[in-house]
Amino acid sequence: MTEQEARRMRRARFEGLAHLVVEPLHRYLLRRTSADLVDDVLSETMLVLWRRIDDVPGLGTDPVPDPADVLPWCYGVARGCLANARRADGRRLRLVERLIRTQEDAPADADHSELHAALDALGALDREVVRLWAWEGLAPRQIAEATGLTSNAVSIRLHRAKARLAAQLERKDAGRPGHKRDEGRSSQ
């Protein structure tokens, strides 16, 4: 059997299975979740069935399988896909709640427009390196892994980008915050 014939046969098996199980799975999902989630979960279920077509019990080479043989396993797949969708919705909801709390906790008078403008003046890769370092707390080695650069290149980019940011923010020659320039020096 050629590869093309095998693909054609696999497709015919899937189409036969899909024709048989789409409506029962749709009804199954409608009884268990909201109508706006049903189509997404059904699509994910059919994708899993396509990927695992050879694992479907009772699905031989016959293009029209017996529903009693294949439906229970397909219900199990749909049940798993629905559980995944519910977990994903829960994660999204928790993220939104966390973002809302973060916004509420942020000081109202904080204006970071100068910082954002200075960041925007950097190139895209330099901006990403700085954000990974400053906001995500990654070390140059980890940034290198995330961006595909070498650790040395990340260190150089980070050093130069920080210098450009300091210049943009007019803090290049400024002393440490809260200290005067001549503090600690003898007046003699």
What architecture does CATH give domain 113-168?
Orthogonal Bundle (1.10)
pLDDT of residue 102: 81
Q: Is the pTM of this model over 0.75?
A: no
Domain 8-105 has CATH 3.30.450.20: no
| CA 71 – CA 18 distance, rounded (Å) | 11
* Residues 101-151 pLDDT 10s: 887 766 655 567 788 888 888 998 999 899 889 888 889 999 998 889 999
Spans of the chain below 50 pLDDT: 172-173, 183-188
Within the chain, all domains assigned CATH 1.10.10.10 are found at: 113-168
